[in-house]
Amino acid sequence: MKTAISIPDPLFYTAENIAKRLGISRSELYARALESFIKNRDKQDITEALNSVYENQSSSLDSEIMQMQSKSLHLYL
């Protein structure tokens, strides 16, 4: 899909140089950059959600569960 965006001149020229060095089109560079931004944003959203949960909840394991996990690990070593 075609779209038009406005970016500062220095950012544009930096992107141009990077695209040339990578041997890809400007459109490909922008698409990759946006995809990377979105993936990182999704990860940050997950981290923030987990932090919110564990702000009020303990993340420690019950001692019985910890012992069972420890015993089960020895089966695989």
Identify the residue whose tokens are 């899909």: 1
* The pLDDT value given to residue 44: 80
Q: At 77, is the pLDDT very low, low, confident or very high (cuts 50, 70, 90)?
A: low
Question: How far is Cα 75 from Cα 21, in angstroms, rounded to an integer?
Answer: 51
Q: Which of 20, 25, 27 minimizes the C-alpha distance to 4?
A: 27
State pLDDT tens for residues 4-48.
Answer: 999 999 999 999 999 999 999 999 999 999 999 998 888 888 888
Question: How far is Cα 15 from Cα 22, in angstroms, rounded to an integer?
Answer: 10
- Asked whether the predicted pLDDT for residue 70 surpasses 80, the reply is yes
State pLDDT tens for residues 54-65.
Answer: 888 777 878 888
* The pLDDT value given to residue 1: 87
